[in-house]
Amino acid sequence: MKRYVPCIIFFLFVIPHVIFAQKGERSLSLKYGATRLEKRQDPSMKQFRANRLGAFIHWGLYAIPGGEWNGKVYHGAAEWLKSWAKVPSEEWMKLMEKWNPVKFDAVEWARMMKQMGVKYVKITTKHHEGFCLWPSAYTRNTVAHTPYKKDLLGDMVKAFNEEGIDVHFYFSVMDWSHPDWRYDIKTKEDSVAFSRFLIFTDNQLKELAKNYPTVKDFWFDGTWDNSIKRNAWWTAHVEAMLKELLPGVTVNSRLRSDEYGKRHFDSNGNLMGDYESGYERRLPDPVKDLQVTKWDWEACMTIPENQWGYHKDWSLSYVKTPVEVLDRIVHAVSMGGNMVVNFGPQANGNFRQEEKVLAMTIGNWMKKYGECIYGCDYAGWDKQDWGYYTRKGQEVYMVVFNKPYSKRLIVKSPNATQVVGAVLLSGERLEVVETAKNEYNVSMPDREPEEPFVIKLRIKEATGVTEKYRDAFI
C-alpha cells in the first residue's frame, strides 16, 4: 500500500490544482502570483491602452558589426551575434572603443516617430550584451566610456517627451557581460554570485527610475532562465519597487515568475504584471484566441523575419511591406492589444532607408485613419474576411484590407445591435442593406481606395430584435 501513497497524493491533490489553474480559477495560495485579477483602470494604464501604437528601438554595440564577425555573416538576429559567434565578453566590449554615433540626432528621431504616429517608444536601455545606453554608475560597460561619452538615453527621453511621445524602457535582466550573471544556480558559489547580481540589477533599475522619472513603463526581457525563475520573490520585488518609485508605471508580464516557476501567468492562470508581453513576432488568432481580450496585452514585431538590432543584410529573410505591418497593427488593436514596431538603427545613428520609408508610409496612413486605432478596443463583432473591426465607445470601425469582388462587405452584428448607417472617414455615405437577422451588406465606395480604408458604422443597441426573421427548423 505504502508504494501507492505518492500516486494517491498526486491524483488527489496535484492534478486538481493543475486543472483549476488552467481554468484561471484561484485555487493555490501564492506568495508571488498575480496581484490583481482584473485589468488596471487607473489613468496611467488607460493611457498605455489608448496609445495602441508604439515603436521599439534596439540599439547597442551589435549595430557596429551588423551581423558579421571575422568575415562571416550570421543569419540569426544581429543583437545575438556575440552568442552566435561565441565572442568572449572582453573582446565584445572592445566594440565600445568604436561606439561613436556622430549622426545621432535625438530630435530627428523624435520627429520621425511623431510623423509615424507612434504614441510611445520602447528603448533598449541595456540588451543581453550588457552595454548601457546611459552612464550607469554600476558598470564600466556604458556609453560614458566610449568615444561618444554623452548620455544617449537622456537625450532620447528628452526629445521624445518634447514631441509628446511616452518613453518605455526595455531592460534585459540577463547580462552576458556581468561576471555574476548565472543561467542556473547549482552551487553555493552560484548562489552568492547571483545574489550580488540581483543587487547590481536593483541598483541599475533604481538609477534608471531616479534619473529618468518621466519613464512610463519597464519592459523586461532575458528573464526565462532558471536562475530568475528560482528567485520569484525578486521578480515580485522589482515590480513593487518600481511602482513605489514611479507611481503609475506599468510593467510587462515577462518579468514575473511565481514560486512554482510559472511565467507571465501564475499557477492559478492569472496574469502577473500589468499586461501580457508574450506575443513576439506573432499574434493571437482573431477568431480562436479571443480569450486575450480579457487582459491587456502588447505585441512586438520585427520588419524582417527576426532582426531586432541592425543587420547589414536584410536580404537574408523576408521583409514585411508597410501594408503587412499595418495589417498587424490593426489586427492587434482589433483584439484589444497594442502593437510595437521595431527599428534597429545603424551604429552611426541613422535609420536605414527601408525603415524611414516604412515609418513615413505608416504615418501617412495613421494621419488619415488613426481614429480607428488610438483609444480603440475589441468590438465584440464576428470577424469577416474583408478585415478587422475596432471600437471606441459607440463608434464601430471596419478596417478593410481585402476588397470583395461582390462589392459588398458583409457585416454580422451582435444580437440586439442594428446597423443603421455607414460612412467613410471623409464623410461619404455608403449604402447599408439588411440581408438577414443581424446581417447586412455595406456597399464598397464608388471610388475604391488603393489602400486599406476605414468605414464607420452607425449603430443602435438594445432596441429589440426584429421579429420578421425566423430560424429554420432542422
CB of 133 to ligand FHN, least distance (A): 14
Among residue numbers 421 through 440, which ones bind ligand FHN (CB under 6 A)? none
Residue 300 touches ligand FHN, criterion: CB under 6 A: yes
Q: CB nearer to ligand FHN: give 280 or 439.
A: 280
For ligand FHN, which residue of 32, 131, 181, 308 counts as binding (CB under 6 A)? 308
Closest distance of CB 86 from ligand FHN, Å:
17
Shortest distance (Å) from residue 159 CB to ligand FHN: 22
Contacting ligand FHN (CB under 6 A), which of 129, 166, 221, 274? 221
C-beta of 216 vs 254, nearer to ligand FHN = 254
Task: Give me the least distance between CB of 322 and ligand FHN, in Å please.
Answer: 21
| Residue 280 in contact with ligand FHN, rule: CB under 6 A | yes
Binding-site string for ligand FHN from residue 13 to residue 52, where x marks contact by CB under 6 A and - marks none = ----------------------------------------
The residues, ordered by sequence, that sit 6+ positions from 151 with a Cβ below 8 Å of its Cβ are 134, 135, 143, 144
Q: Of 133 and 376, which has the nearer Cβ to ligand FHN? A: 133
Q: What is the DSSP string of 342-373?
A: EE---TTSPPPHHHHHHHHHHHHHHHHHGGGT
Is 68 one of the binding residues for ligand FHN (CB under 6 A)? no
Task: Report the site for ligand FHN in 142-181 (rule: CB under 6 A).
Answer: none
φ and ψ of 157, to 5 deg: -55, -45
Identity (one letter) of the amino acid at 366? Answer: M
Enclosing H/E stretch for 44 = helix 43-51
Contact between 314 and 77 (Cβ < 8 Å): no
Closest by CA position to 10, among listed 20, 2, 18: 18
Is the CA virtual torsion 128, 131, 134, 137 positive or negative? positive
Q: Which residue is nearest to ligand FHN (CB)?
A: 308
* Nearest distance from C-beta of residue 408 to ligand FHN, angstroms: 40
- In the window 78-137, what residues touch ligand FHN (CB under 6 A)? 79
- Is 56 within 8 Å of 141 (Cβ atoms)? no
Asked if 409 and 433 count as a contact pair (C-beta separation under 8 A), the reply is no
Q: What is the dihedral of CA 278, 387, 342, 127, to 10 degrees?
A: 0
Q: Which residues bind ligand FHN (CB under 6 A)?
A: 58, 77, 79, 221, 280, 300, 308
